Structure 1
Amino acid sequence: MHKVTLRKTVLSVEEVFHEGGPVAEKPLLRGSIMAVIKNPFAGEYVNEIQGFQDDLKPLGLEMAMKLATALGGAGAIEGYGKGAIVGAAGEVEHGALWHAPGGYAMRELLGDAKAIVPSTKKVGGVGARLDVPLTHTNASYVRSHFDAMEVGCNDAPKADELALILVMSTGARIHNRAGGLAAADIKGEDGLR
């Protein structure tokens, strides 16, 4: 068991009113939360790292709750995604440890979310930014919810840190016109359609 040492969190909310077309009656909200923590594996190769996923679960749930609250509550969330930026003394596999605790935290909070939580990760230096993908929470093939949010922090991650990220949105892209499966037509059987 490893202690999760949190240095800071960064919470960001965007209100999108239009993308050059008509102003929406209700803006799309997109938000991100980043937790910058010490990487317990930085600077050396450690073979057994899976246990750290369990250590991250409480942080994941706390982050999901804060982000959902900032966007109007769990009932308002229609899209989600996750990511990690690993400081230079770590390896991309350390970021992969965020898959389960980050994804399951959002799925637990949102209740019946069926779609896989899209993810991305990379090793980067201080100030690195990450484009984190979003998809619909219940059906991965809902094109209107395919989106991404760029996330970063000016002083993170330091070489011995991990920047763990969750993103959520309250709906489709403003002015989406790409067709495909509509959110209203989701069957909810398999997380895809």
Structure 2
Amino acid sequence: MLWFLIILAAVAFIVIGMYNSLVRLRVRVNGAWADIDVQLRRRWDLIPNLMETVEASAGHERETLEAVVEARNRAMGARGPAEAGAAEGALAGALGRLFALSEAYPRLRGVEAFTDFQRSLDEIEEAVQNARRYYNAVVRDYNTKVQVFPTNLLAGPFGHTRREFFSLDDERQREGPRVAFS
């Protein structure tokens, strides 16, 4: 009888350990997604000021400006990593077209606020890439834990399901906007 209780206690500790490891990884995934969200919000907050600067110097490029606004709005409304990846890729493309305007309008390159926005956006893009790499690494660890034996026996019944990676759909989107300081 004593051996039975010892074995039962050992199994209980193992199950508790597996469950806790799943919870820890889920919390890390949620935290990593929150970090991405913070960086994306920094970029979204920068865009209206950038748009005003461009509009003052190249306001007749209405189609490009509207494409950036539309892409920003879609990105802000995206839910989940897959939808956010597609929306952020579209935003990166629209911003790339916006920065291409600086080649057509040399006066725009001379505006200090525009170059400051370019520099800030470049820093934010770097932070987004770092946050995305960390998030995807944590999701990989979590998904592995959810799928491997014996933790997979606990994962399903306790609501632990695979998470989506945050990736961009097409190769052009992976590059992000080109920022050039002339």
Q: In which range does the TM-score fall when normalised by the shorter chain? A: under 0.3
Structure with the bigger RCO (C-alpha within 8 Å, sep 6+) is 2
TM-score, reference length from structure 1: 0.23
TM-score, reference length from structure 2: 0.24
